[in-house]
Structure formats: C-alpha cells, structure tokens
C-alpha cells in the first residue's frame, strides 16, 4: 500500500486531473479500510493472549504473542498514517482540479468580456431609432466598427497581460 500511495502522489502532480487518479485514491482507501478492519481486532486479542493472568497460554507462547502484538500495533499505526496520507493526497488532487477549473473560468470570463463590447455596440445600432445622427454621418459606421475593434483589442491586451487569456 505504501508503494501504491507513493506512485499515486507522483501521479497527482504528473498527470493533470485524470478521473482515474481520484478513483485510485478511493480504491486505496477501501483497501486500507479492509486492512484496518482486519488489524484492529487483533490488537485486543494479542494483548489478552500475552498478559500474565491468562493461564491457558504457556509462557514461551506469550513471548511470541508480544512480538505479534508489536507487529499488529505497528500495522495499526501504519494504517492510520496511510489513511492520513491518502486524505492529504485526495485534498491535493481536488485542489489542483479546482485551480484548473478557476483558470478555465478566468479564460471564459475574459473572452466573454471581449465579446460583450461588440455585442453591446451592435445591440444599440440594431435598435430601430428614428433619429440617430451618426447614421447619416459618412464615418458613423466605420467609427462604430473601429470602436468595437479598439475596445476588443484593448481588453484582449489587458486580459492577456493579467494572465486571463
């Protein structure tokens, strides 16, 4: 389980946001839970078998049960440690996914801001006003297009510089 956890931790930072990585974390947690369920009852059993007040167990067997008890305690502690590491790995994986989603949202918001400007200007010109002085002016239409392009260009420049695009 330790080797699998180390490989999983490397995969979290190497492989970018694969569903399989999260599924592997949950599979390891289930495997670890099975180990914990198997080991936890043995702590009490081994403790009772190595105590001196149990007369059914010979003295030479108690030495053996002390050794087994030590191993069971270590396994129990290792299972707790691995559970904490798996929880941390899952949190790191989810945090990286969240960061990637935030980056995608920034890009979408940036492009939405750029597209909103020409949409607004075109929307104003799409209204059927009876009197719009710039429509009779020979440079009115090119000025509106130029304003759209200039504003979009400026927004693109600022958002690119800010790291949103």
Mean pLDDT of the chain: 83
Q: Could you list the residue range(s) of the whole structural domain that residue 111 is in?
A: 2-161
- For the cut 70, the answer to whether the pLDDT of residue 44 exceeds it is yes
**Mean pLDDT value of segment 18-22:** 77
- For the cut 70, the answer to whether the pLDDT of residue 58 exceeds it is yes
Side-chain-facing half-sphere of 163: CA atoms under 13 Å: 2
Show the tokens assigned to 8. Answer: 């999983």
Give me the number of domains the chain comprises.
1
- The tens digit of pLDDT for each residue in 95-118 reads 888 888 898 899 899 899 889 988
The answer to whether residues 69 and 43 touch, using CB atoms and an 8 Å cutoff, is yes
Return all residues near 139 (Cβ < 8 A) that are at least 6 apart: none
Q: What is the CATH number of the domain that holds 38?
A: 1.20.58.340
The answer to whether residues 165 and 159 touch, using CB atoms and an 8 Å cutoff, is yes
């Amino acid at each position: 389980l330790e080797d699998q956890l180390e490989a999983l931790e490397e995969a979290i930072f190497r492989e970018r946001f694969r569903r399989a990585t999260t599924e592997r974390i949950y599979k390891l947690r289930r495997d670890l839970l099975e180990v914990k369920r198997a080991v936890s009852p043995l702590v009490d059993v081994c403790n009772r078998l190595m105590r001196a007040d149990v007369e059914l167990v010979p003295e030479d067997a108690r030495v053996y049960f002390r050794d087994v008890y030590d191993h069971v305690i270590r396994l129990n502690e290792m299972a707790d440690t691995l559970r904490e590491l798996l929880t941390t790995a899952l949190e790191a994986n989810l945090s990286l996914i969240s960061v990637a989603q935030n980056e995608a949202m920034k890009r979408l918001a940036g492009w939405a801001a750029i597209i909103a400007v020409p949409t607004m200007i075109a929307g104003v010109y799409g209204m059927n006003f009876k009197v719009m002085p710039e429509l009779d002016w020979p440079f009115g239409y090119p000025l509106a297009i130029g304003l759209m392009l200039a504003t979009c260009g400026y927004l693109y420049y600022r958002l690119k510089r800010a790291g949103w695009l």
